[in-house]
Structure 1
Amino acid sequence: MLMTEPITSLSPALLPDEASPEWLNSGDNAWQLTAAALVGLQSVPGLVILYGSMVKKKWAVNSAFMALYAFAAVLICWVSWAHQLSFGHTRMGIVGEPNLSTFTQKYLLEQLHGKMIPRADYVFYQFVFAAITVILLGGSLLGRMNFYAWMVFVPLWLTFSYTVGAYTIWDEGFLSKHIIDFSGGYVIHLSSGVAGFTAAYWVGPRHDNDKNHFPPNNIIHMMAGAGFLWMGWTGFNGGSPLAANEITSLAVLNTHLCTATSMLVWMSLDLIVFAKSSVVGAVQGMMTGLVCITPAAGIVDSWAAMLMGILAGSIPWYTMMVLHKKITFFQRVDDTLGVFHTHAVAGLLGGLSSGVFAKPNLVNLFYNPETSNSKQGPGLLYSIINANDHGIHVYDGFRQMGYQVAGALFIAAWNVVVTSIICICMSWFVELKMHEDDLEIGDDAVHGEEAYALWGDGQRDPRLRSLTPSFSSFFRRT
């Protein structure tokens, strides 16, 4: 019989050292960096391509550039102060206390509390979340917002709106121990949808010709951008456990199940009602599925994820394709890409569904109440099914639904108020909307560049304005 000696020691290459301390799990660390990169790819190039393709040709450069600028600006703001406002150690009301510790090696290389990764992973992961939130918001403002106003709006909204939602629900805020929001259904999607709709109200509508006729300039590229979003959502939801564990695997599978279901339902409704399955509609259905599953990805069974996909493909379809055309207020607010429906409605739907379908054992695995003092769950469905079993009572489910509703009301109200204040204050010194003559021309007037070389092998047509507007022309007031 072949005898083998037990392994009593590790290879020197696997032993802890200064660069790999005992608390660091290489697998978790590698996955977290990968997940963060996938979320970053959703914005750059994902939304850059999607926005640049989904708008009219004359707005392709401006729309893509709004996304690219926001990604860079949010990173600087996030590391400088916004991360500490969202996840700071010291409380300061409804946000953390800002400081410069995010620039220090001591802070970035220490262990993230309760996890086997360094804080630097978390700082970067939460940055890409914050960046995509602002970029999603911008989808409501494409085709008319003054670019210089956008440059000011991004850091202001990040500082005074996003950080409050993140702190309140994800860190140490008054809802953080009670509300279920696995990966940002409220913090990211409900807030971006409501804030985008609010900002669109204050900025005003597009040029009449654009509002009435706004075809995508490149359907194939639009689908490519959508593909980056769909596949990138693997990191979006899969990174939230901050470890490569069982909940991570379930979250990834549920994400794609819900998304595929939602897209097929949206396509089917388009086919039944309009006799054609729109590619743009399919992308919208894909988006609502991704958004809806986000707050529940790792804490519901897969059958529930598919049921949420049916809801995500039908209810936002109804609000966008039917209610939007019937309600006068919706028609008055020019939400360019329908972000209110695809993100606010779908995010709210996902948050409420989380309160219904959250499975007790999965909730415990994710929130770990024994060590974190969290009190989430169970979902309403399981509180009814498992009443008086293992200490579960029916009122526990209704209580969880109450917190889900309260969280939605808080996020929506805060974003309406703060976004309105930001827009009103900005309008005192910078015009929120481009001038009418610039709106007629588009990219060439705003940036002096066009998306496609259709004349003179890339040279600019002298019949169009040949001078990019000066800084002062965007800041003058009428």
Structure 2
Amino acid sequence: MAKKISTSLLLFFTAMMAHSTAWAAEPVVTDTGTTSWMLTSTALVLLMVPGLAMFYGGLVRTKNVLGTMMHSFGAMVVIGVLWPLVGYALSFGPGILGGFIGWEPKYFMLQGIDDSIMSSQIPEYVFAMFQGKFAIITPALIAGAFAERVDFKGYLAFIALWCVFVYSPICHWVWAADGFLFNLGAMGAIDFAGGTVVHISSGVTGLVAALFLGARRGYPKNVMSPNNLVMTLMGAGLLWVGWFGFNAGSAIASNLATARALTVTQIAAASGAFTWLVVELLHHGKASSLGVASGILAGLVAITPAAGVVPPAGAFALGAIAAVICYLGLLLKGKLGYDDSLDAFGVHGIGGIVGALCLTFFIRPSWMADAAAKVGGTWTVWQQLGVQATAVGITVVYAAVVSLVILFIVEKTIGLRVKENDEMSGLDHSMHGEQGYGLINPN
């Protein structure tokens, strides 16, 4: 009897082990809830691009409104084609050239991911398209620095080259599993949704481009007033809404991390706008609509790298700090006299740097405890600040140097700075043969 029982138990446990092995070998199943949220987030991030077009379009002179908005839509078109061709492979493929960039042949034209379900339980198609929207909006941000003075053909060539040689390598370093900044220090450089990859890279590139191309003709002597601040405010609102997909979607989940990211995004945007409003009241005695819009963006940019690690109190602080420092940065631009037309560096570059560095002082204790456990000892705020500063420094230097090379090549071949007559007549007419508002003599 005992022998029969032991034999039965052996067969039972053998069957259970076989069942467990078969269960473990089964493919990852799609989580429909997470997939639905990621599809929504993808659409929200794409919504930010026409939102940016409206934001920038309202800030330029009437004769350049279409030309400026076309910079955003041009990025949707060019990067929208380039990303599935090679962008995704270069950014998220296994590291090559010593980890400088990624590459995976099956990612070319997304041909090898048809039935791929990621460990986050979403189809890889969704992740690829979500990340593709980041690749679209980043070069569109750059255009704000040299608005009203670039040739459209040269601009399209520039952003195509920039996506391949600047955006994709930085994206790989920071977000790919084998990226060296992803693995720097105990937990890697913190960039939850694009402080370095999106905002610092675009802001620094914008500053380099503005200096390389020179100021708009007549700047700063001639008044260059916005043509439509109503449109700019509407654009800022769309950016705020879209940013929930930008940040909360970067959790690649639908859980507590998603809720945290959404919450701190809302708080930082409001804190940035409120702080900018107060600073303007103290400085000028009036609070401007453009100031509120700028404060919203400053808060959103600063919270972008931090959305996964800071609590609400940290979001309040980051929004306020970014608003003050970006405001001072815009005052400094006036003193130095460089023509960052729509403050791409003043808001995105400076705000991204502030967020990437200052987040260190507001990280949740539980995150620091996890970092310490990973290294088997202690991990301090100052050690993480060193990691953040390294990531920021590398991004700034690399983006500046390579962007300068690309600018030089495009200017000497296709041409980037428009001719004087074309600039004076306006980009709408000279580049596109149209007029944004159908006026006879736009100015």
- TM-score over 0.5 (shorter chain): yes
Structure 1 residues 37-88: Cα deviation after superposition (integer angstroms, max 9, x where no partner):
1000000x21121222121111001000111011110011111111111100
What's the offset of the Cα at 1:445?
Answer: 2.0
Structure 1 residues 85-127: Cα deviation after superposition (integer angstroms, max 9, x where no partner):
1100243331012535343554143022x21001101110111
Task: Report if aligned partners of 1:193, 1:339 keep a CA contact under 8 Å in 2.
Answer: yes
* Structure with higher RCO (Cα < 8 A, 6+ apart): 2
Matches within 5 A, 1:191-340: 191-208=201-218, 212-321=222-331, 323-326=332-335, 328=336, 331=337, 333-340=338-345
CA distance in 1, matches of 2:412, 2:111: 41
The answer to whether 1:26 aligns with 2:32 is yes
Q: Hey, what does 1:115 align to over in structure 2?
A: 120
What's the offset of the Cα at 1:164?
Answer: 1.0
TM-score by structure 1 length?
0.82
Name the CA shift for 1:91/1:297 in 2 (closer, same or farther; >3 Å): same
RMSD across aligned positions (CA): 2.0
Query: Where is the helix percentage greater, Structure 1 or Structure 2?
Result: 2
Structure 1 residues 19-46: Cα deviation after superposition (integer angstroms, max 9, x where no partner):
xx76100000000010011000000x21
What's the offset of the Cα at 1:354?
Answer: 2.1
Q: Hey, what does 1:156 align to over in structure 2?
A: 161
Name the CA shift for 1:210/1:273 in 2 (closer, same or farther; >3 Å): closer
CA distance in 2, matches of 1:176, 1:237: 18
CA distance in 1, matches of 2:126, 2:341: 34
The answer to whether 1:414 aligns with 2:398 is yes
What's the offset of the Cα at 1:391?
Answer: 6.4
Residue type matched to 1:437 in 2? N
> Which moves more between the two structures, 171-180 or 353-362?
353-362
CA distance in 1, matches of 2:220, 2:73: 23
Q: Hey, what does 2:423 align to over in structure 1?
A: 439
Task: Report if aligned partners of 2:314, 2:359 keep a CA contact under 8 Å in 1.
Answer: no
Structure 1 gap ranges (5+): 1-20, 370-376, 379-387, 456-460, 465-478
CA distance in 2, matches of 1:450, 1:187: 35
CA distance in 2, matches of 1:101, 1:133: 21
CA distance in 1, matches of 2:407, 2:104: 24
The answer to whether 1:42 aligns with 2:42 is no
Matches within 5 A, 1:392-411: 393=378, 396-411=380-395
Aligned pair count?
408
CA distance in 1, matches of 2:368, 2:102: 26
What's the offset of the Cα at 1:149?
Answer: 0.7
Q: Hey, what does 1:429 align to over in structure 2?
A: 413
What's the offset of the Cα at 1:249?
Answer: 0.5
Name the CA shift for 1:272/1:431 in 2 (closer, same or farther; >3 Å): same
What's the offset of the Cα at 1:418?
Answer: 0.2
Residue type matched to 1:57 in 2? T
2:349 counterpart (331, 344, 356): 344
What's the offset of the Cα at 1:423?
Answer: 0.9
CA distance in 1, matches of 2:231, 2:377: 50
Runs of 4+ in 1 over 4 A off after TM superposition: none
